[in-house]
Amino acid sequence: MKLFVKLKQYFLDQAESVSNLEKKINYIFHNKDYLKQAFTHKSLDTGPRQNYERLEFLGDAVIDIIVSRELMREFPEGDEGLLTQRRAALVQKPYLASIGQLLDLMDYLKIEQSVNLGIEKIAERQQANLFEALIGAMYLDGGIDPCRKLILDTVWTYKQEAWKSTNYKGKLIEYCHSKNIENPLFLVKDISGPDHQRTFEVQVKIGLTKYSSGLGTNKKTAEQLAAKSALEELGASF
């Protein structure tokens, strides 16, 4: 009998936790399995349809398309270089992590205890991953409209904060346009470390010239650092 009471309380607590999140994002999931998957880390379940990685992949694309559309409305005369720069700032991991923190998404994460979330960069990446996974889950459950609303209420609402920070990748693209040279390529040279603590090495290539590599705990951070190095080597002001 005691076991039954404990199990009942556990499931009530879980339901209340989910309900609190749904209230925060102002969206009720029809299929709760999508929501559960969005907050299940690979360290607990390596099944691709059980952890959040596929949803993160989808959410990243959904954020890109919605942000791109809003930027075209915001800057009707803006060229491709400007739009690319502004979008890069809004979809970079550190900014999306701040949105995840705003929504307290880490409170809902299910993860193996051995994963060290005390390391700032790992925790930051998790926050961003969870926001992307949540958007992916919402898209599968309810289509583009609820995703657009949440993105407009969060990512777009605080866009000026993102644009205040230096977006080295965007500035490098802009620099190449201004000098009428080829767009930079961002080449992943190496990925090392376990799945939950990876290190990415990215190198910038412009035409036939390769520049110093950037290292980061995710691809986007490594790209930003590689772009910064390339700008310095090119003698560009930023």
Residue extents of the structural domains in the chain: 12-165, 169-234
What's the average model confidence in pLDDT over 208-217? 89
Q: What is the Cα–Cα distance from 62 to 56, expressed in whole angstroms?
A: 10
Percent helix, strand and coil across the chain, each to the nearest 5:
60, 10, 25
**What phi, psi does 190 have (nearest 5°)?**
-160, 145
Active site residue 120: no
pLDDT of 90 over the 80 cut: yes
Query: What CATH code would you report for 169-234?
Result: 3.30.160.20
Residue 141 structure tokens:
């459950």
Nearest to 185 by CA among 166, 165, 211, 167: 211
**Four-CA torsion 22, 25, 30, 34, nearest 10 degrees:** -90
pTM, full prediction: 0.66
Q: Are 168 and 224 in contact (CB under 8 A)?
A: yes
What class does CATH assign to 12-165?
mainly alpha
Which of 60, 70, 141, 174 is catalytic? The answer is: 60
Helix (H, G, I), strand (E, B) or coil at 187: strand
pLDDT of 10 over the 50 cut: no
pLDDT of 93 over the 80 cut: yes
Secondary structure element (H or E) that encloses residue 205, with its range? strand 199-206
Q: What is the pLDDT of residue 120?
A: 60
Say how far residue 126 (Cα) sits from the centre of its chain.
9
Which of 132, 141, 174, 201 is catalytic? The answer is: 132
DSSP 182: P
Secondary structure element (H or E) that encloses residue 188, with its range? strand 185-192
Query: Can you give the length of the chain in residues?
Result: 238
- The model's pLDDT over 122-141, given as tens digits with 9 standing for 90+, comes to 678 889 999 999 999 999 99
Q: Are 138 and 27 in contact (CB under 8 A)?
A: yes
When pLDDT is cut at 50, 70 and 90, the band that residue 7 belongs to is: very low
Residues in CB range of 202: below 8 A, 6 or more apart = 186, 187, 188, 189, 213, 214, 216, 219, 222, 223, 225, 226
Higher pLDDT, 130 or 168: 130
- The model's pLDDT over 16-56, given as tens digits with 9 standing for 90+, comes to 555 789 999 999 999 999 999 999 988 876 776 789 999 99
Q: What is the pLDDT of residue 11?
A: 44
Nearest to 89 by CA among 184, 175, 163, 153: 163
Q: What is the Cα–Cα distance from 15 to 32, expressed in whole angstroms?
A: 10
Residues in CB range of 125: below 8 A, 6 or more apart = 93, 97, 217, 218
Active site residue 60: yes
